Structure 1
Amino acid sequence: MQQFLDFLQKNQQLILSYSVKVLVALVILYLGRWLSKSLTHMLEKALIHRKVDKAVVSFLSGIIQAAIMVATILIALSQVGIQTASFIAILGAAGLAIALALQGSLSNFASGVLIILFRPFRAGDFVDAAGVSGVVEKIEIFQTVLKSPDNKRIIVPNSQITGSAITNYSAEKTRRVDLTVGISYDSDLKKAKELLEQILKADSRILAEPAAVIAVGALADSSVNILIRPWVNAADYWPVYWDTLEKIKLSFDQHQIVIPFPQMDLHFKKEK
């Protein structure tokens, strides 16, 4: 006992100094734990407010909380005099090895986070992305699930979506229907335009504003090409497209407006 007391008396300054370092390290651990919880809570509230998927919110929160706690532990260890350079080197090497092994998955994950945060499209939108078209069913962490118009499920890696152009056909409430119809040079151009105006006015799905455009687009080799550009609600795009083409054909046939088509002349040579 006397020896222990002598040890304490001789090393009083060292013990006091080390105790202060341990106390500071414990305070750092406490503050780091509090900071990690506060930041992850704020992040969760912000992401949930943006209607981000709960699985993604939980995953991101866990990663950020773990990163803050690892940094806090390293700072606390260095405070008490433990060299942390070797720990940092080991963590760096392990992180590099994991990143190289999972670079494809990490790329898909990062792309999924960007899609969820910036919302170039939402579930239910009809999009053209990564060379495929379909209605978005689900946006997951590593992939996006689309359903094609012919009811096929298409699973696209998120990195392919963010790495290519995205066309969102559902982003705007209205769309313009682009049609081109050719008539023969012998047909009555004014009559054809009048018939087209009547067809568009008779369709209640076609919007009054912006006004539809009917104009000559080109004097082609075998036809006068007329451009028809009505505006419709996005949901009416394809029904109006198909119905208008059918009405144009029937109306032109009824009023003798000829729609030219490619023809081939065959010449037979009789051998004598």
Structure 2
Amino acid sequence: MEKYAEQLQAMAVLYAPRVLLAIITLIVGFWAVNYFVKLLTKVMQRRHVDATVIPFLQSIIEVVLKVVLVISVAGMFGVETTSFVALIGGAGLAIGLALQGSLGHFASGIMLLVFRPYRVGDLVTVAGFTGEVTEIQVFNTVLKTLDNKRIIIPNGAVTSGPITNISGQGTIRVDMQFSVAGSEDIDKVIRVAREVCNASPLILSDPAADILVNSQEIGITKFDVRPWCKSEHYWDVYYYVQENIKRQFVAQDVQAPTPAMNIMMAK
């Protein structure tokens, strides 16, 4: 027992300083990595690097530096770094096989950065969700919805379906339809609708709003009203037109349609 105790004491004397140094190195190293990544992020922002790329590069650089730090600390205990790298490679292969989906999300993230179907700040519809792109991460895309929810979507789900970039062109058409009584004067209805569109500073004059007769049925005439606006003003324009056309129809005595029904009487 005394022999084992002496061996343990000798090992403690030998390795305790290394363990303590390794712990200090890890603590300081992780702090330094985080500080460096934050500093690098600020530099990229000052140099006006694309906001879409910054979070992606930030994630990759942080992971790589922390892996290098762990390998360096392992070398302090006499572990051969080449063997350690081979071990990490083998473990990475095993983990990769187990996490094929995650690797697919990573590859999809690379594709999103290369082909740029959208950027940070764009209003998009992806994977059934509509919102503003706030981050494009290594594995996920983060959206802020119109009702201020934070939606995290795996990049694989984004690239596997259609991507609608609502704000990609800078302007957007707001499509609405209104119905009036079939007896109403078409020119009067078009004039009222155009006055409403012209009164809003958010609605573009070029291209001008389209106001067209869509269809006519028994007792009903349907009009399409299609103003243009900047993408970020879509919902403001939509609700403005909906509200104010109703107000003007009432003010100018434009009659709403009356439901009609044909009754066939058998003799």
Residue aligned with 1:251, SS: helix
TM-score (norm 2): 0.63
Deviation at residue 238 of structure 1 after TM alignment: 1.5
Structure 1 residue 160 displacement after superposition: 0.3
The separation in 1 between residues aligned to 2:123 and 2:89, in whole angstroms, is 42
Flag the 1:238–1:49 CA change in 2: closer, same or farther, 3 A: closer
| SS of equivalent to 2:206 | coil
Match of 2:253 in 1: 256
Partner residue of 2:121?
A: 124
Deviation readout 1:135-188 (Å, 9 max, x if unpaired): 112111111111221121111111000111111122122111111111111222
Q: Which amino acid aligns with 1:129?
A: V
Query: Which amino acid in the other structure matches residue 111 of structure 1?
Result: S
Instruction: String of CA shifts for 1:23-56, please: whole Å, max 9, x gaps.
Output: xxxxxxxxxxxxxxxxxxxxxxxxx976633235
Q: Distance in 2 between matches of 1:240 and 1:61?
A: 47
1:160 aligns with 2:163: no
Alignment coverage as a number of residue pairs:
194
Residue type at the aligned position of 2:61? S
Q: Where does the alignment leave 5 or more consecutive residues of structure 1 unmatched?
A: 1-47, 63-90, 265-272
Q: What do the CA deviations read for 1:38-75 (whole angstroms, capped 9, x no partner)?
A: xxxxxxxxxx976633235538989xxxxxxxxxxxxx
Structure 2: gaps of 5 or more residues: 1-47, 66-87, 262-267
Structure showing greater Rg: 1
Query: Which of 173, 185, 189 is matched with 2:186 structurally?
Result: 189
| Cα deviation code 1:94-127 (max 9, x no counterpart) | 8764443111111111111111222211222221
- Partner SS state of residue 216, structure 1: strand
Larger displacement relative to structure 2 (182-191 or 196-205): 196-205
Match of 1:223 among 220, 224, 244: 220
Classify 1:230/1:128 alpha carbon distance in 2 versus 1 (closer, same or farther; 3 Å).
Answer: same
TM-score, scaled relative to structure 1: 0.62
Q: What's the counterpart of residue 30 of structure 1?
A: none
One of 216, 231, 238 as aligned partner of 1:234: 231
Query: Deviation per CA, 1:221-269, whole angstroms, max 9, x where unpaired?
Result: 55211111121122222112111111111111122212226589xxxxx
Q: Please point out which of 58, 61, 65 is paired with 2:61.
A: 58
Rounded to whole Å, the distance in 1 between the matches of 2:117 and 2:213 is: 36
The whole-number CA distance in structure 1 between the counterparts of 2:195 and 2:112 is 44
How far the C-alpha of 1:93 sits from its partner, in A, is 8.9
- C-alpha distance in 1 between matches for 2:131 and 2:258: 33
Q: Which whole-Å CA distance do the structure 1 matches of 2:210 and 2:91 have between them? A: 63
Alignment-mate amino acid for residue 58 of structure 1: I
Supply the AA of the counterpart residue of 1:191.
K
- Which residue type is aligned with residue 246 of structure 1? E
Q: Identify the residue that residue 204 of structure 1 maps to in structure 2.
A: 201
- 1:1-272 to structure 2, matched below 5 A, reads 52-53=53-54, 54-55=57-58, 58=61, 97-260=94-257
Q: Which letter maps to 1:167?
A: T
1:74-93 C-alpha deviation (Å, 9 max, x unpaired): xxxxxxxxxxxxxxxxx999
Letter matched to residue 123 of structure 1? V
Distance 1:95 1:238, change over 3 A: closer
